[in-house]
Structure 1
Amino acid sequence: MRHSASAFGFADDFLYSVSIVSGITCAVLAVAKFMLGRVLTSRALITDGFNSIVGSIMGFSILISAEVYKDHVDVWFLDGTLGVLIGLIIMAYGVKLLVDMVPRVRQTRNYERFE
């Protein structure tokens, strides 16, 4: 089932333009953040670069799922499924960051406490 162009033309154009601009902008920001994070040895900046990559993927996934939905209405769940997968990826990266921080926290316990 295909929708008529006149009913959804403006909404489709707006969705496509916002998704493309968002995806490209987030990808460019991710590259810049990764490069600066490596030069400055900033873990927070590298993590923010990862978040920008995820934002870029999210922008393009909206575009892809809207395009697929146009021709195949029976995959209405694609956008939500991609959102859940992106959320799981972010959660896995957060768990990785927490696990990486455990040795640092243990190391700081050996310092004298100033009271």
Structure 2
Amino acid sequence: MALLDNTKDVIPLSSVAELLTAKVRTLKMYEEKGLLPLKKETKKLYSIDDIQIVSFVHYLASVKKINANGIKYIIEMLNNNMDEKNRADFLDLVETKLEKLSGKEVTDVESM
């Protein structure tokens, strides 16, 4: 049985949008503002690890209403001040919290 490679870029942005129940245009806007993981290929594909970052960015923008500069700062702090294990643990914690939020209205979420 082969192990999954969570770093391999195989998921198109449209599928990421579907997984997050977000609009593709919204994710493209995040991409244009430099909030998503940088992709060099013309056919931009994302990894499972990238989806954690994309979902975190989407959460910060849509639920917490943080602007692009604030999100860039938060992502920069994660990348520069946390080692890989702590960053992964933090993103796993965020993912767990986001799973609890899925299916709730944004107004319900803001009261948490």
Is this a same-fold pair by TM over 0.5?
no
User: TM-score under structure 2 normalisation?
Assistant: 0.27
Higher helix share: 1
Larger Rg: 1
Q: Compute the TM-score of the two structures, normalised by the length of structure 1.
A: 0.26
